[in-house]
Structure 1
């Protein structure tokens, strides 16, 4: 590696993309193209970065397998940050295997981190956990250790293991400060702020209050019967009944839970569950059928009993019933939750992450855009969606360790 390439690589490792570009901006050899691509990615020009890295990979060719694999890893990170969830993961796995075989453990670990981050993004926690298991971050660079600990915290947060998440974020903060990369430090600080923000609302006895994540964890571990409107599950002390595919039953359960220990009138239940403004005999008959189905589903956890004016929920073992609701009740809250990360998303990527059809996501985005809650840029396949005026910092883009041509 010549002196200019070495100097550019060191500048990138310190988070100084402009310093790197000053040294290789006018060069078109393969190592320079790769370094320019990484620099442009750090500056936020992901389209140009992707093109440069593709050119670098072609320039390296099959004979320089390790350098080519590093370019593929960098391209995979750009795809992840730009929320291109259709990017071929098999190519990343092959690149990781190549780097591992050639002894480039740093970039192999970086590739593994990217694989886990993608799994985390689309909610495949079991697979992400398996890849994390047995992974020792000690040999990694400070920047890579910080990224690894952020992933560990992300898995722990989604599994409601707050002590594990806090510990991982503390390690991530220490590693980020060792790396001395401002964007990485900011990313860790942003994750720590998430832990201090309300994660849900508790609705009980006609009142509601916000809950932090550790309070949610304690609630779900208690003997309280929780009607979880975040996941459409009714649970108590580790035992759960999922109603994710039974929206009417869950709506009835939530209405009864919010009113507990009082009952709910038949008219109120019809309006809440069926949106029936003027109920007729067919609505009342359907209500009796759905209440019967709810009794069957919750028979181990609670009793649904008839009263003079409607129905009431009575726990079998728990002393109290509460409703755990999202921080904000919004028809398309799941879509907004993904867009809140500050990145621009395509509708197809959102559909993959949400596990739903692209048309369903498109209808939600159109409704949110009409309400001024989201905005789009581009047209056709290049169209991307984001929330307007989202504060925050770009995700760190850094290919660690030896760079192409070393």
Structure 2
């Protein structure tokens, strides 16, 4: 291995892509192509980076399996950052196995981190935790430890474990400072903001206020009967009744929860649950049937009692009833939540993440674009969607340095 390749790799490891390009920009051998691809990715030119990495993977010989595997890991990270969830995840797993077989622990660990980050994006928390448990972060360099702790924090935040998330972010900040990569430090600081911004709204006794993530955790552990509109469940301490597949029942539960301790007129319930402007006897009969079903679903948590003018919710073990709602609610709030990270997404990747059909997602994106809430870049299969640009930090790419013959 020549000194210029070594110097370029060290520059990339230290977060200096321009320094790396100065050393290999005019070279077309396989290691130089790989390093140029990684440098271009760190500079934000993902399209050029993918082309260079594919060329590098083809240029490496059959005996350089480890170098080709590193190129695959780099391609996988570029796909993840550009939110291309259709990129073949099996190729990343195969590359990780190759790296482990050749003793490249650092890049194998990085590949496993990428697997976990992809699972987080599509909401597979249990599988993400299982994959992460197989990784020992102790021998990793500082930059890789920071990336690992960011993944740990991401899982803890989604599990509403704020103490564990704060501890992981603190460890990530220490590791980022030790790595001395400014962009990585900025990434950790950006991730930490989620603990200091409103994560939900609570509606209690007719009043509404925003809640931080830690306050949400406290509410769910308080013994209050919570109608959770973020997950479409009704919960009290450790007992959870899911109404995610029963939208009418959940709407009725939410309306009753918002009005507690008062009752809700039948006309209001009909309008909210069935969108009936002029209710007739068939609507009222259906309301009685649905209320009976809701009473059966919530029998362990609360009773649904009829009053002279409507219905009321009576908790069995709780003194209070609260409704937990997303911080922002509109027709396509879930789609906007995925775009809120500032990265560009393809419509197919959004469909995978949301569990919806591609055509449904495409129609929603077109409506949001007409309203000026999202914008698209590119055409055809290369088309990507994102929120209008705002000031913020880009996602750091901790791409591996594919050095052959180590």
Per-residue CA shift, 1:60-95, capped at 9, x if unaligned?
032210111111111110011111111111111111
- Deviation of 1:135 (Å): 2.3
Unaligned runs of 5+ in 2: none
- Deviation of 1:134 (Å): 4.6
Question: 2:20 matched to which residue of 1?
Answer: 20
Q: Which whole-Å CA distance do the structure 2 matches of 1:175 and 1:404 have between them?
A: 27
Question: 2:325 matched to which residue of 1?
Answer: 325
* Count of paired positions: 406
CA contact (8 A) 1:38 1:398 kept: no
CA contact (8 A) 1:12 1:398 kept: no
- Deviation of 1:399 (Å): 2.5
Question: 2:372 matched to which residue of 1?
Answer: 372
Q: 3-state DSSP class of the match of 1:312? A: strand
- Deviation of 1:233 (Å): 0.1
Q: 3-state DSSP class of the match of 1:61? A: coil
- Deviation of 1:179 (Å): 1.0
Q: Which whole-Å CA distance do the structure 2 matches of 1:34 and 1:135 have between them?
A: 26
- Deviation of 1:184 (Å): 0.7
- Deviation of 1:261 (Å): 0.2
Per-residue CA shift, 1:131-159, capped at 9, x if unaligned?
11152211111110000000000000001
- Deviation of 1:351 (Å): 0.8
Q: 3-state DSSP class of the match of 2:296? A: helix
Question: 2:54 matched to which residue of 1?
Answer: 54
- Deviation of 1:402 (Å): 6.4
Unaligned runs of 5+ in 1: none
Q: 3-state DSSP class of the match of 2:235? A: strand
Q: 3-state DSSP class of the match of 1:305? A: strand
- Deviation of 1:358 (Å): 1.1
Q: Does 1:345 align with 2:345?
A: yes
Q: 3-state DSSP class of the match of 1:311? A: strand
Question: 2:302 matched to which residue of 1?
Answer: 302
Per-residue CA shift, 1:235-274, capped at 9, x if unaligned?
0011011000111110100000000000000111111111
Q: Which whole-Å CA distance do the structure 2 matches of 1:184 and 1:246 have between them?
A: 43
Question: 1:38 matched to which residue of 2?
Answer: 38
Q: Does 1:180 align with 2:144?
A: no
Q: 3-state DSSP class of the match of 1:138? A: coil
Q: 3-state DSSP class of the match of 1:253? A: helix
Q: Which whole-Å CA distance do the structure 2 matches of 1:214 and 1:119 have between them?
A: 24
TM-score, with structure 1 as normaliser = 0.98
Question: 2:113 matched to which residue of 1?
Answer: 113
CA contact (8 A) 1:144 1:400 kept: no
Q: 3-state DSSP class of the match of 2:86? A: coil
CA RMSD after TM alignment? 1.1
Question: 2:253 matched to which residue of 1?
Answer: 253
Question: 1:148 matched to which residue of 2?
Answer: 148
Q: 3-state DSSP class of the match of 2:178? A: helix
Q: Which whole-Å CA distance do the structure 1 matches of 2:99 and 2:211 have between them?
A: 44
Matches within 5 A, 1:389-404: 389-400=389-400, 403-404=403-404
- Deviation of 1:405 (Å): 5.0
Q: Which whole-Å CA distance do the structure 1 matches of 2:173 and 2:347 have between them?
A: 33
Question: 1:168 matched to which residue of 2?
Answer: 168
Q: CA 1:402–1:69 in 2, change beyond 3 Å: closer, same or farther?
A: closer
CA contact (8 A) 1:263 1:312 kept: yes
Q: Which whole-Å CA distance do the structure 1 matches of 2:359 and 2:289 have between them?
A: 32
Q: 3-state DSSP class of the match of 2:312? A: strand
Q: CA 1:239–1:166 in 2, change beyond 3 Å: closer, same or farther?
A: same
Q: Does 1:64 align with 2:64?
A: yes
Q: Which whole-Å CA distance do the structure 1 matches of 2:395 and 2:191 have between them?
A: 11
- Deviation of 1:398 (Å): 2.5
- Deviation of 1:299 (Å): 1.1
Q: Which whole-Å CA distance do the structure 2 matches of 1:285 and 1:67 have between them?
A: 69
Q: Which whole-Å CA distance do the structure 2 matches of 1:193 and 1:221 have between them?
A: 23
Runs of 4+ in 1 over 4 A off after TM superposition: none
